Homo-oligomer: A and B are copies of this chain.
Amino acid sequence: MASIKDVAAEAGVSVATVSRVLNDHPSVSEDARTRVLTAVEALGYRPNAVARSLRTDQTHTLGLVISDVMNPYFTELARSVEEEARALGYSVIIGNADERPDLQDHHVRTLLDRRIDGLLVSPTDGGSPLMLGTARGGTPMVFVDRWIPGVDVPVVRADGRAAVRDLVAHLHGLGHRRLAIIAGPAATTTGSERIEAFREAMAEYGLPLPDAYIGQGDFQAESGRRVTEGFLDLPEPPEAVFATDNLMALGALDAIRARGLRVPDDIALAAFDDIRWFVHTDPPITAIAQPTGELGRAAVRALVDRIEGRTSRSVTLPARLVVRRSCGEAASSPKDLRSTT
């Protein structure tokens, strides 16, 4: 592979001049510029990003550590992050933590070893020493979706509180009184926030929320199935189940099907995170939709602001309830049959 030295030799100038042309420094003669560009073309020269990074201490790369790539919500997030980053001249390296703190640490470490310019994290847990150290240690960082309390890092997320209240209102309006929830890990902010919002909304409607109706999941499908089976085994099973993420909703659906029960006739189901497949499930699933793409883009903008020395602030966007048929009584208009992209 041709190096800058080869280009310099070919063009009959020094490497400094080549470098100046490449970084369009003002003081280069027109003659030198064309000679260099011709040589670049002739040799098919491409600057070595590794060498450049070593010298400039910038990699133009962002790290994205995500809780679970197989979760369509995070896939979409990752996609929008990459798009916005590309638009701003950055590449993205994605690390999939698979909801495992050890894997999360592994990815943070290798990303730091690679000297990424900034880190976007959706933390799986309350914060390992490594994560906390990184946040304090000056690496530009932004939390997206989930965050770690007590750490001075901007957070870009959706607030589902109002939407959860709308959901409870919706269920209440349909006559459901015994509502159960499949919660996410308490160590995650989204996990605790969603159940808290649910609790408050239940209280608001004067509905009891017995412990038996609070199932502990881990944001993976299998836990949704397990918890739902527990609900169905109760002497008095709930009339509605609210899964706090889409994968657990999928697991819940599995469990309900396995018993030969029907949604929503036998039991209602709703989910946090709206994904396009929910339109096509049997029945279409009522869900709380986050502005996923906007979240990803805002997170990148906040991070790049930080990297490039500007200040950046936290961003909170609203989530909204999308009513479909899984809680009973179809919505009046047929609009919900459309995909929600």
Chain A contact residues, CB within 8 Å of chain B: 46-51, 53-54, 59, 69-70, 72, 75-76, 78-79, 82, 86, 91, 93-94, 96, 106, 109-110, 112-115, 221, 250, 253-254, 257-258, 276-277, 279-283, 337, 339
Given contacts A51-B54, A281-B281, A281-B282, contact A75 B69 (CB under 8 A): yes
Q: Is the CB of B91 within 8 A of A91?
A: no
Q: How far is the CA of A91 from the CA of B93 in the complex (A)?
A: 9
B residues less than 8 Å from A337 (CB atoms): 257-258
A112 partner, pick from B46, B69, B221, beta carbons under 8 A? B46
Q: Which residue of B lies closest to A115 (CB)?
A: B50
Q: Is the CB of B46 within 8 A of A113?
A: yes
Given contacts A250-B276, A280-B250, A337-B258, contact A113 B48 (CB under 8 A): yes
Interface centre among A48, A91, A114 (most CB of B within 10 A): A114
B residues less than 8 Å from A75 (CB atoms): 69-70, 75
B residues less than 8 Å from A76 (CB atoms): 70
B residues less than 8 Å from A253 (CB atoms): 280
Q: How far is the CA of A46 from the CA of B105 in the complex (A)?
A: 14
Q: Is the CB of A113 within 8 A of B280?
A: no
Given contacts A75-B70, A221-B339, contact A49 B114 (CB under 8 A): yes
Q: Is the CB of A70 within 8 A of B59?
A: no
18 of the cross-chain contacts (CB-CB < 8 Å) are: A47-B113, A50-B50, A50-B53, A50-B59, A50-B115, A51-B54, A69-B78, A69-B79, A70-B75, A79-B96, A86-B106, A250-B277, A254-B279, A257-B337, A277-B277, A281-B281, A282-B282, A282-B283
